[in-house]
Amino acid sequence: MNKIIKIILLISLFSCVDKKLSDQDLIINSIKEVSPSVVSISIEAIDSKEQFGFGSGLIISDDGYIITNSHVVEIGNLFDVFVIISGGEKYLAQIIGIDKLTDIALLKIDKTDLKFARLDNTNKLVRGQGVIALGNPHNLFSVSKEPTATVGIISGKNVNFGLRKSGHVYQNMIQTDASINRGNSGGPLVNLSGEVVGINTFIITESKGSGGIGFSIPISRVKDIIKDLKEKGAVDRTWFTGISVREIDQKYKDFFNINVESGVIVIDVEKQSPAENSGILLKDIIYKVNDRIVNSTMDIEEALDEGYFKTDDEVKLLIIRKNNFIKVNLKLIDPYNK
């Protein structure tokens, strides 16, 4: 009996070793597969070539399209943007488009036959699954001519930060404990199958070094934005609502016999506007916008920004009319193409 138990224990031990080696092989293979598509981005003065910033990027097509964070290249309109590919070749990059709201940018270099990354299409992330962050921390790419890799797990999903002072909106972010440092912004977060699941964007840390909590933009959002940037050079958000509102103070509550504590009251509805088309009336109370309770014009603007709404999208409103709650879909229309 003891002999059988020993055999079982030996089999279990070897199985654990095999599993550990298998995980290590997956990590090595993923790094090897994606690394050639990771680039270093350098922002340099046009005349002196003095560097004003650096970050990471990811090649997404064999003809030179590259994605990164908009905050990496936002000053690129004043300076030159250079891309260094794996191996050290350096190219002047063109900024195809920037979407500040989502913090995503699309670049292009004059180079073909490039190795490009596979973007995950499943959107099925699980807390605890292994991931790898690849990029250019502290501009080490310029020394090693290849990206740095750090390993971790998916620590959290759907983490919301809302609208930041920078003008960027960070919603449904991926949280990871893979070490991310200055310069990693714009680089990929990769699963163990060698697919890109996110774009590394920022960290929260108590110090200026690593060891903080990293956050990545889900690749599904990146793909949606890049499609618009590639086709139009921008994301169309030139819509309007046609609604004017005021906060509900005690005077309005008394005069209109309002019984709710939250919401804004509609004081004007523009003719032939999205608001009129959706049936919104004067004295309606807008209670929720995109499932968020609103108490001011700023609240409405933030709710729309945090929903990443584009022209021709529909936003859900919950309004109160004569003490009845009514659901309304408001289509966001371009004012110049009504």
User: Looking at the structure, do residues 267 and 200 belong to the same domain, yes or no?
Assistant: no
User: Looking at the structure, do residues 157 and 186 belong to the same domain, yes or no?
Assistant: yes
Cβ(323)–Cβ(257) below 8 Å: no
Residue % of the chain over a pLDDT of 70:
90
- pLDDT (average), residues 320-327: 91
**pLDDT at residue 40, rounded to an integer:** 97
Predicted confidence (pLDDT) at residue 253 exceeds the cutoff of 90: no
78 domain residue, yes or no: no
Predicted confidence (pLDDT) at residue 76 exceeds the cutoff of 80: no
Cβ(235)–Cβ(228) below 8 Å: yes
Q: Counting Cβ atoms within 10 Å, is residue 46 exposed (0-12), middle (13-18) or buried (19+)? A: exposed
User: Looking at the structure, do residues 131 and 182 belong to the same domain, yes or no?
Assistant: yes
User: pLDDT-based confidence at 13, cuts 50/70/90?
Assistant: very low
pTM for the model: 0.86
User: Looking at the structure, do residues 319 and 271 belong to the same domain, yes or no?
Assistant: yes
User: pLDDT-based confidence at 154, cuts 50/70/90?
Assistant: very high
**pLDDT at residue 12, rounded to an integer:** 52
Q: Count other Cβ atoms within 10 Å, centred on residue 112.
A: 9
**pLDDT at residue 206, rounded to an integer:** 60
User: Looking at the structure, do residues 249 and 324 belong to the same domain, yes or no?
Assistant: yes
What does the block give as tokens for 202? 């920022």
**pLDDT at residue 17, rounded to an integer:** 45
Dihedral over Cα of 86, 68, 157, 231: its sign:
negative
What does the block give as tokens for 313? 């999208």
* Chain segment 56-69, per-residue pLDDT in tens: 999 999 999 999 99
Structure-model confidence comparison of residues 66 and 336, the more confident one: 66
Predicted confidence (pLDDT) at residue 11 exceeds the cutoff of 70: no
Tell me the catalytic residues: 71, 103, 185
The number of distinct structural domains making up the chain is 2
Residue % of the chain over a pLDDT of 90:
71
Give which of 260, 185, 193 is closest to 215, Cα–Cα: 185
**pLDDT at residue 142, rounded to an integer:** 86
Final residue belonging to a domain, choices 189, 224, 259: 224
User: Looking at the structure, do residues 282 and 315 belong to the same domain, yes or no?
Assistant: yes
- Residue span of the structural domain in which 205 resides: 120-224
3-state helix, strand, coil in the chain (%, to 5): 25, 35, 35
**Mean pLDDT, the chain, as a whole number?**
88
What does the block give as tokens for 117? 């990354």
Q: Quote the CA–CA distance of 79 and 46 in Å, as a whole number.
A: 6
Predicted confidence (pLDDT) at residue 19 exceeds the cutoff of 80: no
247 domain residue, yes or no: yes
User: Looking at the structure, do residues 207 and 128 belong to the same domain, yes or no?
Assistant: yes
- pLDDT (average), residues 124-135: 94
**pLDDT at residue 14, rounded to an integer:** 45
Cα 250 to chain centroid distance, Å, stands at 40
Cα 32 to chain centroid distance, Å, stands at 25
Final residue belonging to a domain, choices 192, 224, 256: 224
45 domain residue, yes or no: no
* Chain segment 168-211, per-residue pLDDT in tens: 999 999 999 999 999 999 999 999 999 999 999 998 876 555 45
Question: Residue 323's domain is classified under what CATH number?
Answer: 2.30.42.10
User: Looking at the structure, do residues 212 and 278 belong to the same domain, yes or no?
Assistant: no
